[in-house]
Amino acid sequence: MLNIGILKQGIVIDHIKAGGAMKIYTYLNLEHLDCSVAIIKNARSNKMKRKDIIKIEGTLDINLDILGALDHKITINIIKDGEIIEKKNPTLPDQVENVLVCKNPRCITSVEKSVPHSFKLTDRENGIYRCLYCEQGI
């Protein structure tokens, strides 16, 4: 059994779709923070079969609710004094900017680097966003 130490204070992002932890890690710029970060990939889960988990020691000064756009089934646990003091299930934002990246090579966002990557939620049930410029779905 894998044992990662208990956090005294920090954030645990749980129920990440297997293979999705690095996308969240990159978006949060965790490589630039001066804190311990544990990424657990392909952990066994009764609910999901396999999942990823990210444990971050310390606090983050960002809006964690935007993570719902990257994986709308995650759970965010806020830890203080070794206990979960808050549990969040982020919802899908109606619109996001510079969170998702358009994969269409002909999209204006691929050609003009100064144009923000803007997406609108078009299918809440399946978590599908479409680029505001070219309608490419993600």
pLDDT 10s digits, 5-28: 788 899 999 999 999 999 999 988
Q: What is the pLDDT of residues 39-48, one digit of tens each?
A: 999 999 988 8
**What is the model's pLDDT at position 63?**
76
Hey, which bits of 47-92 come out as E strands? 49-57, 75-80, 83-88
Q: Please, are residues 3 and 53 in contact by the beta-carbon 8 Å criterion?
A: no
pLDDT at 1: 47
Q: Which amino acid is at 125?
A: E
List of residues 6+ apart from 57 with CB closer than 8 A = 7, 8, 9, 10, 35, 36, 37
The answer to whether 25 touches 39, Cβ cutoff 8 Å, is yes
Per-residue pLDDT at 131 exceeds 90: yes
**Architecture label for domain 9-88:** 2-Layer Sandwich (3.30)
pLDDT in tens, 100-129: 999 999 999 999 989 999 999 999 988 899
- Can you tell me the distance from the alpha carbon of 67 to that of 128, in angstroms, rounded to the nearest whole number? 14
Q: pLDDT tier at 3 (50, 70, 90 boundaries)?
A: low
Please tell me the predicted confidence (pLDDT) of residue 57. Answer: 92
pLDDT of 2 reads 53
- Each residue's pLDDT tens digit, 30-89: 998 888 899 999 999 988 899 999 999 988 777 787 898 999 899 999 999 999 999 999
Distance CA 116, CA 110 (A): 10
Q: According to the model, what pLDDT value does residue 4 have?
A: 63
- Note the pTM of the prediction, 2 decimals: 0.83
Q: Please state the domain extents for the chain.
A: 9-88, 95-131
